[in-house]
Amino acid sequence: MIQFSEVSLQRGTQFLLEEADLTIFEGQKVGLIGANGAGKSSLFAMIRGELSADTGEVILPGQRRIAFMAQEVEETQRSALDYCLDGDDHLRLIEANIAKAQAQDNHHDHALWLGEYESAHGYTAQSRAETLLQGLGFKMSDMHKPVADFSGGWRIRLNLAKALMCPSDVLLLDEPTNHLDLDAVMWLENWLRQYPGTLLLISHDRDFLDGICSHIVHLYQKKLTLYKGNYSDYERQRSEHLAQQQSNFERQQAKRAHLQQYVDRFRYKATKAKQAQSRLKMLEKMELIGPAHIDSQFSFSIPVAEKTSQLLINLSQADLGYTSPTGEQSIQLGNSNFALRDGQRVGLLGPNGAGKSTLIKSIVGELAILSGDRVTGENLKIGYFSQHQLSALDLEASPLLHIQRLTPKVLESDIRRYLGGFGFIGDDALRPVKGFSGGEKARLALSLISWTKPNLLVLDEPTNHLDIEMRQALTEALQEFPGSILLVSHDRHLLNSTVDEFYLVADHHIQPFEGDLAAYHAWLQARQANAAQIEKNELNPDKVEKVDRKEERRKAAELREKLRPLRKQIEKYEKAVQTAQSHLDKISDAMTDATLYEAEQRDKLQTLLSEEAKWKKALEENEEAWFEAQEELEDAQAQLS
């Protein structure tokens, strides 16, 4: 059990926690959420013993092994595999003692430590480490590369692998999906579901939290509130709480107004003074309930270009890839055909390194195509977001100045109002970028893209560094955006909420993917099993089992085909619901006509009432059918995944 009892934690002049209470029981999987800067990482540091409470106490179980994911990776020449194995420090200690006993020719200690090595599952450690690294996207050829050879994002993956390698009773993970692609996120979610200990997880990925957590802790207004269930359960419970809070607040305000009115009228009249004073005391003692409100500071829309083209961009028989300084071509996607039309909303799927970023860079013109044709519409206007855009920001300039450079004649007040929707309120709009966090830089980059009024949004992992509130605001803005979207993201909620179709980038090809993310997960598992079998055959050539790739693809297509009738049913019911609602809206508008209730209009009124009853019944029946079909689809997807 981990317990916070009346804990206060102060940083500088501000309190992050103030008399906060929380109890986490053994085996619970807890998601910790809250705004950036609220103190989530500080709470982890208190659990690890790196920070002490200013008041109150943090009670931790004795003899409990705590593993955590570090945020920094030191420069080292140790191989990726050895770095991961270092996570099991107990095993490393045993290995050191075995080596020491061997050097001293101490047979007794040598035998003793070999027994400890077997008990610590030392003989399977390397294969377990390789499995972890492969699950997080590393290839077998990466295992013996020095850590120093990997980029920052891949080093963070190594830190995650090291934390997972550590045998632990309590596992602390701080935003583990930030530098992962969709495939690795799905693998990690499955691994954490099977983790037997107590898990505390900081994440802004709502689908990831939904798939793992048994409880959610909300760090809000310096308090820790525990909700039972996953993130969706938390949202529902908090909405109910806020609605009740608002209702109580409104009733209380009405009561206060009534009491205050009485006090104001009679407090100076001798005959009523006593009653007025008693009501005044009631007002003073009454506990004020804060008005409930959606407290997100983010609210924005993305305007679209005034002119557009029916065909925005078309790649025809194009070879996509890179040209080396010596002129050698490296083709990642060969003979590619891909087009984006006005209003199309496409999500890109595919394994890490398959060429999604290459496709995106070729579309936006950052990479020249190696051969073939790239044709753009006359009115194409691209808004492109990638992590590269963050490093291109002027560190000395403010958000306000960035936009003024784009449109010098726009009033400063209009720009500041616009930036407020992205969280740059007041003096934040005037701060230089060099002091910004990763999330603030991402918000600024998104605001600059939005300001240019594109008709095609090309977004490569736009949610990295964004908290849940900003992700939700971005999701809503993309849902309302009338232009075209091309999206790569590991955030499944964003993908599910904003795109209408998927394309698969794999095996040097681009093709439409008939299915949703559950079908993609099934395809991915089949592909990984196939790859594992091929690797096994290469290691054991005498025991080769023939693997038919066509058969694997046929099975994956079969799985998708089973879901197709259900999806068509759901689409049919959705259209029927929309039709019924449309008719009801028209009837409702017609019935607002006052003349309809005159005697001579009686027949027309009866007809409208009859139509209303008919369409209400149709609405209810199709809604019920939609819910049943949706549940059936979810059950089928669960079985397939």
What's the first-to-final CA gap in the chain, in angstroms? 33
Residue 29 phi, psi (nearest 5):
-110, 110
Look at residue 78 and tell me whether its pLDDT is greater than 80.
Answer: yes
Residues 108 and 82 in one domain: yes
pLDDT band at 504 (very low <50, low <70, confident <90, very high): very high
Q: Would the pLDDT of 593 be above 90?
A: no
C-alpha to C-alpha distance for 359 and 487, rounded to whole angstroms? 11
Residue 612's SS3 state is helix
pLDDT beyond 50 at 544: no
What's the whole-number mean pLDDT along residues 90-117?
92
Number of domain units in the chain:
5
Pick the closest to residue 372 from 359, 381, 382, 385 (CA basis): 359
- What would the DSSP string read from start to end of 511-538? EEE-S-HHHHHHHHHHHHHHHHHHHHHH
Report d(CA 125, CA 171) in Å as an integer: 19
Residue 117: is its pLDDT beyond 70? yes
**What is the per-residue DSSP string for 441-494?**
HHHHHHHHHHHT--SEEEEESTTTT--HHHHHHHHHHHHH--SEEEEE-S-HHH
- Is the domain of 89 the same as that of 134? yes
Co-location of 246 and 178 in the same domain: no
At residue 66, the pLDDT reads 92
Tell me which residue of 23, 69, 89 sits closest to 171, measured CA to CA. Answer: 69
Could you tell me the two tokens for 52? 């002490």
Question: So what's the pLDDT on residue 545?
Answer: 45
- pLDDT at position 10 is 86
Q: Name the residue type at position 587.
A: I
3 state DSSP class of 29: strand
Of the pLDDT bands very low, low, confident and very high (cuts 50, 70, 90), residue 532 is: low
391-398 mean pLDDT: 91
In whole angstroms, what is the distance from residue 307 CA to residue 379 CA?
A: 6
Asked if the model's pLDDT at residue 414 lies above 90, the reply is: yes
Rounded Cα gap, residues 480 and 456, in angstroms:
14
**In which band, very low, low, confident or very high, does the pLDDT at 188 lie, cut at 50, 70 and 90?**
very high
Same structural domain for residues 54 and 97? no
51 and 115 belong to one structural domain? no
Please indicate, yes or no, whether residues 249 and 389 belong to a single structural domain of this protein: no
Tell whether 150 and 205 lie within a shared domain.
no
Residues 440 and 499 in one domain: yes
* Torsion sign across C-alpha atoms 266, 270, 271, 275: positive
Which residues lie across from 315 on neighbouring strands?
Answer: 338, 374
- Residues 246, 293: Cα–Cα separation, whole Å: 8
Among 36, 62, 39, 65, smallest CA distance to 51 is for 39
- Kindly state the average pLDDT of the residues 391-411: 93
| In the predicted structure, residue 292 carries a pLDDT above the cut 50 | no
Please tell me the predicted confidence (pLDDT) of residue 553: 60
Q: Which domain holds residue 612?
A: 547-639
Instruction: Note whether 46 and 85 are same-domain residues.
Output: no
pLDDT digits 0-9 by tens, 436-449: 888 899 999 999 99
pLDDT at 272 over 70: no
The fraction of the chain above a pLDDT of 70, given in percent, is 87
Q: What was the pLDDT predicted at 624?
A: 75
Using pLDDT thresholds of 50, 70 and 90, give the confidence band for residue 83: very high
Question: Is 524 domain-assigned?
Answer: no
Q: Which residue has the higher pLDDT, 82 or 586?
A: 82
> In the listed set 116, 148, 165, which residue is the last one of a domain according to the structure?
165
